Structure 1
Amino acid sequence: METLPPRQAVLDNYTDLNSLDSVKKMGREGDEQSLREVARQFEAMFVQQLLKTMRATEDVFADGNYTQSSEMKFHRDLLDQQMSLSMTHGKGMGLAEALFEQMRTQYGKLLPQGAAGTAAEPAMEKRSMTSIEASPLDAVQPANEMQRSSEIANNPESKIRQFVEGVFDAANAAAKALGVAVDGVIAQAALETGWGEHILTDSQGDVSNNLFNIKADARWAGPTVTKEVLEYSDGRPVQMFSDFRKYASLGEAFEDFTQFLQSSSRYQSALNSESVKEYANALQAGGYATDPKYAHKIVQIAESPLLKKILAQKLL
């Protein structure tokens, strides 16, 4: 008979009133083993709901059957609850593994493939770029943001290196003009586009080169890209189409981004920042994004060993 580890044994017994507290504690620990167990518990809850629905259908046909007493149903429900935990032990249905990968990405624990020992870039939460004229409360989120989040966490080193090398010269020029560190600018572009994997495109599939998802306001006379986005107004999400700026090159995108920050009074404190953290915090304080962890994510990407290694080689 298989013997479960002490913590596993507790969590596999639905009658233990402390099991949910154990799951809460494990979630706070943030390690991979804890996240796996939390995911498995959610899978067990899902299976339990399936069994409950199945039993409800069965009860329709069992109405009036003397063998289906309330006591029998009570014990059957107890069995189903325990069965849901047993069915999800081990590989289970596969749902737990999918949830685990999502949570590991969400909490920034996933390492880029092929980059052992490298800190992972965090997944983007619901945040957005605001236009120059927009209020900090009026935010926009590209519709494929969750997909970009996954790309940030899963990109192999070669793709990350390719992105950094492709934007380095333009990013370095922008950083010097803004008086900030180049790693902060590159980290922000990486966060916005999933290391360049999800740059906005137009209806013909042409790339916009808009690495910072800057919207096209009334003063923008250049080409645009129209995308369905999630707008936040007074804290309420509204799905709508918005126009974003389109650039002829990455260099033009960085030049416009530089002017975007320099021309707005909201971001003056971000200019000439002494550190990436100061730069990122100033952007967030100015209303650049609605995600409360936006600044933290930029800093975490900038401080990742892989990006530091690549930039060190470029700056030699």
Structure 2
Amino acid sequence: MSSFQSISGQSLGSLDQLKAAASRDPKGAARETAKQFEALFMQEVMKSMRASTLSSGMLDNNATQLGTEMLDTQFAGKLSGLPGGLSDAITRQLQRQMGVPDLSPESVRKASQTTLAQALPALATKGIPNHVQSFIQKHDAAARAASAASGIPASFMVAQAAHESGWGKREITGTDGSKSYNVFGIKATPGWTGKTVDVQTTEVINGQAHKVTARFRAYGSYDEAFKDYARMISSNERYAKVVAHAQNGNAAGFARGLQQAGYATDPAYAEKLAKTIQTTQRVQSTLA
């Protein structure tokens, strides 16, 4: 009993440090505290093992005992924090207590699919077309992961992807029919070093629609497309006001900001996008 009291007493200091560091890096603080607790636990396990081992006593003294304890401390430190170990379980428990969400891609995907499976029957009764349901189901997890990293609402990103791709019916493909996964219509700027596809598109120039061939970015998956979109929007000063509107939940301001920043040449782009956002938000309200 005294051993576990010792562990608890020592871990209280770590818990105090965790609370102090939570505002800066809650997930990192939880991992570090969990690792310390596991190390203390491992020390007690090794101490119990040595106590149950027969010893001749001939060479035992204070110096050898101190050396053994130091060696056990080193072993405990090396054995702590390994993947799948006790610290992983402690970290998850601490994060739940602190209200820190598990934003790993697999966790986000599972939570999203579970929520959608529960909500899709309700969507059908609200007049949401099947192709809209399918598009949201396909991209919801990627949008939520990108939202967690950028602060842009997932519904805004899904809406823009839907508007740019016609709810997935007009996705950008290569001349050989290969998928680009570029549901946002992001063009390949001079600094882009990834794959590209050349596509004929319509641009409005001086009020007139013209067919032009443009080079667009190509990705390996939809997850990559959503991550790149969120990174581009949130890291470019040109879209600073757009991100501010998004983080405030201002759909109309977000749509106008994109048009004013030159994201698209269609003069009715903001109006069309705002309507698509309203549709996705109707769906999101059902998912909530």
Structure 1 residue aligned with 2:266: 291
Aligned AA (2:265):
T
Aligned AA (1:244):
F
Is 1:245 aligned to 2:217, yes or no? yes
Q: Distance in 2 between matches of 1:254 and 1:214?
A: 11
Please state how far the C-alpha of 1:255 moved relative to its aligned partner.
Answer: 1.0
Q: Distance in 2 between matches of 1:186 and 1:280?
A: 13
Please state how far the C-alpha of 1:272 moved relative to its aligned partner.
Answer: 3.4
Q: Is 2:203–2:265's contact at 8 Å kept on the other side of the alignment?
A: no
Summarize the Cα distance change of 1:117–1:228 in structure 2 as closer, same or farther, 3 Å threshold.
same
SS state of the match for residue 201, structure 2?
Answer: strand
Is 1:224 aligned to 2:188, yes or no? no
Aligned residues: 163
Q: 1 or 2, which has the higher helix percentage?
A: 2
Please state how far the C-alpha of 1:162 moved relative to its aligned partner.
Answer: 0.9
Structure 2 residue aligned with 1:167: 139
Please state how far the C-alpha of 1:300 moved relative to its aligned partner.
Answer: 1.4
- Deviation per CA, 1:247-278, whole angstroms, max 9, x where unpaired? 00000001111122123222110113212122
Q: Distance in 1 between matches of 2:257 and 2:131?
A: 29
TM-score by length of 1: 0.47
Structure 1 residue aligned with 2:238: 266
Please state how far the C-alpha of 1:116 moved relative to its aligned partner.
Answer: 7.8
Give me the CA root mean square deviation.
2.4
Higher relative contact order (CA 8 A, sep 6+): 1
Q: Distance in 1 between matches of 2:282 and 2:255?
A: 21
Q: Distance in 2 between matches of 1:204 and 1:226?
A: 11
Summarize the Cα distance change of 1:230–1:295 in structure 2 as closer, same or farther, 3 Å threshold.
closer
Q: Is 2:203–2:266's contact at 8 Å kept on the other side of the alignment?
A: no
Q: List aligned pairs for 1:272-287, cutoff 5 A.
A: 272-273=244-245, 274=248, 275-287=250-262
- Which runs of 5 or more structure 1 residues have no equivalent in the other structure? 1-113, 119-155
Aligned AA (1:252):
E
Summarize the Cα distance change of 1:158–1:236 in structure 2 as closer, same or farther, 3 Å threshold.
closer
Please state how far the C-alpha of 1:310 moved relative to its aligned partner.
Answer: 3.2
Q: Distance in 1 between matches of 2:175 and 2:282?
A: 37
Q: Is 1:229–1:239's contact at 8 Å kept on the other side of the alignment?
A: yes
Structure 1 residue aligned with 2:170: 198
Structure 2 residue aligned with 1:33: none
Q: Distance in 1 between matches of 2:253 and 2:188?
A: 27
Aligned AA (1:159):
H
Identity level (%): 33
- Deviation per CA, 1:227-263, whole angstroms, max 9, x where unpaired? 1223445555543322111100000001111122123
Q: Is 2:150–2:231's contact at 8 Å kept on the other side of the alignment?
A: no
Is 1:303 aligned to 2:275, yes or no? no
Q: Distance in 2 between matches of 1:117 and 1:255?
A: 30
TM-score by length of 2: 0.51
SS state of the match for residue 299, structure 1?
Answer: helix
Q: Distance in 2 between matches of 1:180 and 1:221?
A: 25
Aligned AA (1:256):
D
Aligned AA (1:302):
I
Summarize the Cα distance change of 1:229–1:298 in structure 2 as closer, same or farther, 3 Å threshold.
closer
Give the number of the structure whose alpha-carbon radius of gyration is greater. 2
Q: Distance in 2 between matches of 1:192 and 1:174?
A: 18
